[in-house]
Structure 1
Amino acid sequence: MTGGRGAPELLDRMVEGSLEWLDGARPFFHLPANATTDADPNLTLKPLGELAELMHVIASLHPRTDLREQADRLFAFAWEETYDGELFAELIRGEPYATYPVEIYGVFARTGLRNTAVEELLSTTTRLRAWRVAREDHTRTLGVLNAERRIGYPQHADFSTVLGHTALGGLPEPWALDRKAVYGLTHDVFHLTDWGRAPGRLPAELADYLRLWLPSWLENWLEEQLWDLAGELLAVTACLPKAPYDPLAWQRLAAAQAADGSVPETGAAPCPDDPAEAFTACYHSTLVTAFAGTLARIAPEPSPEGAGAAATALRTPCESEAIP
């Protein structure tokens, strides 16, 4: 494993292919008419929120103008699907204790896209006693706290304390982590670093732990051909000081990407021929590939001294480096 940007041509080709496929998959990101009532948010709002989150990262950070512009168009499409935020007001009125409307709204609010009705509702609901009840999923709580910070509301719990209860914060025995735990760990990093925008927020102890064990985890999930998780681990790697780059891992992920840009979540077979089935099977892993490729593309070359500071200077000129 070596440091630095690695192969920009390969990374750009993977990001470009992923964005092309995602752009063609717009119809499947459309929200159904019952999105605010009885539709399953995991099948409707979750994909749209993930599209918005990761497209904004690419639109903000990728060095190529054409790819930034394409990602920005997809981000604008996601906002349009929410009817300029009116969707979130309906969701909050129906489920005042639900966190997912706040988490997704926070993606847009951090960019200045806001809705007055949503803000008025949240100023009440986020102060409710039920909102402050401890959640079993501490990683999810980090996401909620990050959303509160993005919107500008007081965080309902201490971020560092919650982080200490997560898979990452506990520094678990690396050989004992199963697939679910590793997914949780990657999202601990994403919430902590604001999805790679502020890598300097990662405490040194956690960065050292990740740098030591990520190569083994990555090799394991590449062997399992779980491309979705491998992509998330490559994104985490790019968030670390000195940004280690594994060319073989990227070549193996690139080999899993089809000619149309799609990346299957798992296995050697390409995405299904049926467009709807292909979307379900491939949208997240394709999003993750574009996201990870962007973070790897901008990772600074390591230096013997001050690598972490150099990463901060290059990546996050406007972000506070304190844990939120």
Structure 2
Amino acid sequence: MSPAAEAGTDGSPADGADGGGLRALLDDVAGGALRRLDAMRPCFRLPADVTTDADPNLTLKPLGELAELMRVITVLHPLPAVRDAAADLFAFAWKEARGGELFAELVHGEPAATYPVELYGVFAAAGLRHPGAEELIGATTSLRRWRVARDDHTRTLGVLNAERRIGLPPHADFADVLARTGLGLRPEPWALDRTGAYGITHDVFHTTDWGRAPERLPADLAAYLRLWLPAWTHTWAEERLWDLTGEFLAVAACLPGRPPDAEQWARFAAARTPDGAVPESGDPPPPGATEHETFLACYHSTLVAAFASTLARASMESEATP
């Protein structure tokens, strides 16, 4: 039975036809995206030269994103079938990381790089540890070089969140760094470009530990987001930037007391392909596109679809619980 077919049988409280329809839609989005991601496994596999010559943006980054978002779904989605499918993909990512040995090699090769620590933090938070990687990470993050201020404050939030997950002392004050991010500065909403928009979504994700701890988002920033998210989401959907639209839907689900926008979700869901994938922007790749081309055009937005629909579904359950 598909996750969507299980909707309404998981013991969640009934909340009327509209709420039930939205729950079914969210479950369908999550279930379809997970099935498509499962079919994409060969494209997530790491090449033999991953620690030397391979482009990390095309190898490690997709696998790390898969691990991050599958772990969220495993923890938060109310349907067992959806959680199980995500847990299987998370286990696949850990296997590709060779039980953590990959991170030991990456840190040994690039002691000052932050991305191996960020990637390892996803697994460490789930209780998956590698002693060799831990020893090297402990040594490199204690260096003065590690505490040098970074220009990208959003990325620094990600590093601080990884340190918290692993159990390392933070190299900077989280609240101080957040105040210097795009979100912390609360830019004029009409001046938000695409780069700034992605920065704001990730400020929220790092602050809330990818939706697990929404209470960590300061009240003034949550109020700013509540005010402007509807307009931003509508604008990016009008431009058919589905990946960014999905990220804003995920941000909305990180705000306590804000129910999912059924109209925006219907619009986003309509951008899917019959197999459950979501194109990053516009239409899906044309017939005849290679597997790799299709993967690059759809994998991240499909991950975001599974993630955002999970957060929205979990928020509905949380609000329905007395």
Q: Same fold (TM over 0.5)?
A: yes
**2-structure distance, mates of 1:60, 1:121:** 29
* C-alpha distance in 1 between matches for 2:230 and 2:148: 37
Matches within 5 A, 1:181-260: 181-260=196-275
The answer (yes or no) to whether the contact 1:243–1:300 under 8 Å persists in 2 is no
| Structure 1 position 77 matched with structure 2 position 92 | yes
Matched residue, 1:66: 81
Residue identity in the other structure for 1:212:
L
Checking the alignment, whether the CA contact within 8 Å between 2:103 and 2:133 is kept in structure 1 is: yes
Pick the aligned partner of 2:134 from 111, 119, 138. 119
Cα distance between partner residues in 2 of 1:270 and 1:208: 38
Q: Secondary structure at the match of 2:74?
A: helix
SS at structure 1 position matched to 2:270: helix
Letter in 2 for 1:11: L
| Alignment pair present for 1:281 and 2:297 | yes
Q: Secondary structure at the match of 1:242?
A: coil
Change (3 A) 1:119 1:166: same
* Residue ranges of structure 2 left out of the alignment (5+ in a row): 1-17
Tell me which moved more, 5-14 or 127-136: 5-14
Residues 138 and 4 (structure 1), Cα distance of their counterparts in 2 relative to 1, 3 Å cut? farther
In the other structure, the counterpart of 2:195 is 180
**CA-to-partner distance for each residue in 1:69-127, whole Å, 9 max, x for gaps?**
00000000000001000000000010000000000000000011000001111111001
C-alpha distance in structure 2 between counterparts of 1:123 and 1:204, whole Å: 34
CA distance in 1, matches of 2:102, 2:284: 37
Give the drift of 1:243. 2.0
Aligned residue-pair number = 303
Q: Deviations over 1:280-316 (max 9, x none)?
A: 1100000000000000011147xxxxxxxx76x97xx
Q: How far, CA to CA, are the matches of 1:90 and 1:238 in structure 2?
A: 37
Equivalent-residue separation in structure 1 for 2:285 and 2:293 (angstroms):
12
1:159 alignment partner AA:
F
Q: Distance in 2 between matches of 1:271 and 1:142?
A: 38
1:122-159 CA distance string (max 9 Å, x none): 11100111111111100000000000000000000000
Alignment CA distance shift 1:5-1:135 (3 Å)? farther
Q: Identity percentage over the alignment?
A: 65
Q: How does 1:16-165 map to 2 (within 5 A)?
A: 16-165=31-180
Q: Which amino acid aligns with 2:291?
A: P
Shift in Å at residue 6 of structure 1? 6.9
Cα offsets for 1:181-237 (capped at 9, x unmatched): 000000000000000001111111011000000001001000000000000000000
SS at match of 1:35: coil
SS in 2 for 1:85: helix
Q: Point out where structure 1 has 5 or more consecutive residues left out of the alignment.
A: 302-309, 315-324
**CA distance 1:27–1:271, change in 2 (3 Å):** farther
1:169 to partner: Cα distance: 0.5
CA contact (8 A) 1:29 1:44 kept: yes
2:191 and 2:163 map into 1 onto residues whose CA distance is 32
Return the offset for 1:271.
Answer: 6.4
Q: Describe the shift of the 1:36–1:176 C-alpha distance in structure 2 as closer, same or farther (beyond 3 A).
A: same
Q: Which has the higher contact order (CA 8 A, sep 6+)?
A: 1
Q: SS in structure 2 opposite 1:256? A: coil
Letter in structure 1 aligned against 2:37:
L
Superposed displacement of residue 248, structure 1: 1.3
Equivalents in 2 of 1:14, 1:60: separation in Å?
17
Which stretch shifts more, 111-120 or 273-282? Answer: 273-282
